[in-house]
Amino acid sequence: MAQVDYWFSPISPFTYFAGDRLEKTGLTINYRPFNIPAVFAATGGVPVPQRSPQRQAYRLQEIERLAKKSGLPVNLKPAFFPVDASLACQWMLVARNAGADIGALARALLSAVWAEDKNIADADTLAAISEQLGMDATWLSAAADAAQLLTDETQAAIDAGVFGSPFYQVGEQLFWGQEKIDDLADYV
């Protein structure tokens, strides 16, 4: 079975709405969290607060439609968005590199932002998520010293052609957006 590089940010509502659909395809997944502000800066993307009022309004309509379609709860204007997801991404990278399957962790972080109004930049919030998932506490402790891991992963995303989240890659083929999961599965 083909391996999918799953490039994502734990603050993307569109990644949140992908839910566990990628896992249900049965494909082998290589989770690749990255720093989305750095990817935007390198690829011409604009952070949400800097977008035109028209784009911001459309984004909210799209989030609302996706919430209804997916059945996932969502807060259209989370208390902690945008939020610095660096520590959360570093934690996922440390856990992934230790051999953990970080799919459940990624979904927990996304839910924390988009459904639970939690601050994923806060170490105590992350510790509570770690405990809830029964994860090795040393992974979160090591995350504070893993900034270079995130820098490297973010550069790898940029080099791969990633410009948003979620992004799926099989070989040279790229698929952007949670609605592309079926196209990805068909391609493979």
Q: Which residues are catalytic?
A: 12
Return the SS3 of 28.
strand
Contacts of 75 by beta carbon, 8 Å cutoff, 6+ apart? 114, 115, 117
Rounded distance between C-alpha atoms, residue 129 and residue 87, angstroms: 13
**Are 174 and 168 a contacting pair, CB within 8 Å?**
yes
Q: DSSP class of residue 162? A: -
Two structure tokens written together for 147: 């900034």
Rounded distance between C-alpha atoms, residue 148 and residue 36, angstroms: 15
How far is CA 102 from each of CA 16, 22, 37, 95, 167, rounded to the nearest angstrom? 14, 13, 22, 7, 16
Which residue(s) pair with 167 in the sheet? 7, 176
Rounded distance between C-alpha atoms, residue 157 and residue 132, angstroms: 29
Q: Sign of the CA dihedral 47, 48, 49, 50?
A: positive
